Chain A
Amino acid sequence: MIVTVVWLVLLSGGFAWELYCHLRPGRWASLATVSSWLWQRRAGRVFLVAVWAFVGWHFFSRYTAPR
């Protein structure tokens, strides 16, 4: 249960940090900035698409709904 809460804190913290980076740009890089930086290179694009596809494959093709 505690670790589940830690996961939820991490996920919500990530969303909050991304939002903060968008609202106060300059000092910190948002995930959008990092992905745009990677997107400039062909290898970076393939990497980003691979990560994105893995997330989709793992969560939407291989999920196990709890009973």
Chain B
Amino acid sequence: MTPKPSKAARLLGGLPTRRFTALALISVAYAWYATGLRPFTDSAYEAVFVAAAILLVFGLLSPAGRRTPRGPLALRAVAPWVALVAVAACLEAAGLALGGRSPVVPTLSTVVDHALRWHASRFVLFLGWLEVGTRPLSGPWRRMSQRPSSPGPQQTGPQL
């Protein structure tokens, strides 16, 4: 019998409590280890590579998206994101054109570096990065573990 997910587990991806707790503990330990490594070292690169490789393998094996919008996404629906990315790209390009370390026009990396100064802040950001990366996987694997029940209603995305 599949354990019923707790409210917290449902909010955080729908995994059963025991599995969610185990994954959360592993993620926390891994994030603390990875963010304690010195930058620009092989072990720092490997820490990110291992997480990316695991996600890629599970992503390619994953059956479907967490929320699967039907049909194409309308350009109008994503216009605010396109505008935001365009402004960010222009700022980044200007910062890089000025050498990448300009105090007048800093790049996004230079701004974020201030938040990466402390191990605790790196740890929190790394956990957020892991959560963002693993979020699309939680739904499909949960549904697979609950088969052969009927699939739930699919969420429709914004349309034209």
In the bound complex, residues from chain A placing their C-beta under 8 Å from that of B60 are 42, 45-46
**Would you call B122 an interface residue if the criterion is a C-beta within 8 Å of the partner chain's C-beta atoms?**
yes
Report B112-154 residues with CB < 8 Å from chain A CB: 112-114, 116-117, 122, 125-126, 129, 132-133, 135-136
Q: Encode B27-66 as 1/0 by CB contact (under 8 A) with A.
A: 0000000110001100011011101100110011010111
Residue of A7, A14, A31, A58 touching B106 (CB-CB under 8 A): A7
Q: Does B68 lie at the interface of the complex (its beta carbon under 8 Å from any beta carbon of A)?
A: yes
CB distance from A25 to the nearest CB of B (A): 8
Chain B contacts for A33, CB-based, 8 A: 67, 69, 73, 157-158
A32 to B77, CA, bound (A): 13
Chain B: interface residue count, which band?
Answer: 35 or more
- Return chain B residues, CB-CB under 8 Å to A3: 91, 95, 104-106
For B158, list chain A residues within 8 Å (CB): 26-29, 33
Q: Is the interface of A mostly helix, strand, loop or mixed?
A: helix
Beyond A4-B106, A14-B84, A29-B157, whether A65 also contacts B116 by CB under 8 A is yes
Contacts of B34 in A (CB 8 A): 60
Measured between alpha carbons, how far is A8 from B148 in the docked complex, in Å?
A: 47
Residues A52 and B39 in contact, CB atoms below 8 Å apart = no
Task: Output the least CB separation between A54 and chain B (Å).
Answer: 9
A56 to B84, CA, bound (A): 21
Q: Which of B64, B113, B157 contacts A63 (CB 8 A)?
A: B113
CB of B47 within 8 A of CB of A60, answer yes
Rounded to whole angstroms, the CA-CA distance of A40 and B136 in the bound complex is: 10
Q: From known contacts A26-B158, A40-B64, A60-B34, infer whether A6 and B47 are also in contact, taking CB-CB under 8 Å.
A: no
Q: Are B44 and A39 in contact (CB under 8 A)?
A: no
Cα A26 to Cα B51 with chains together (Å): 33
Shortest Cβ gap from B106 to chain A (Å): 6
Given the complex, which residues of B lie within 8 Å of A14, measured CB to CB? Answer: 84
CA distance A17 to B88 in the complex (A): 15
Residue of chain B at shortest CB distance from A64: B113
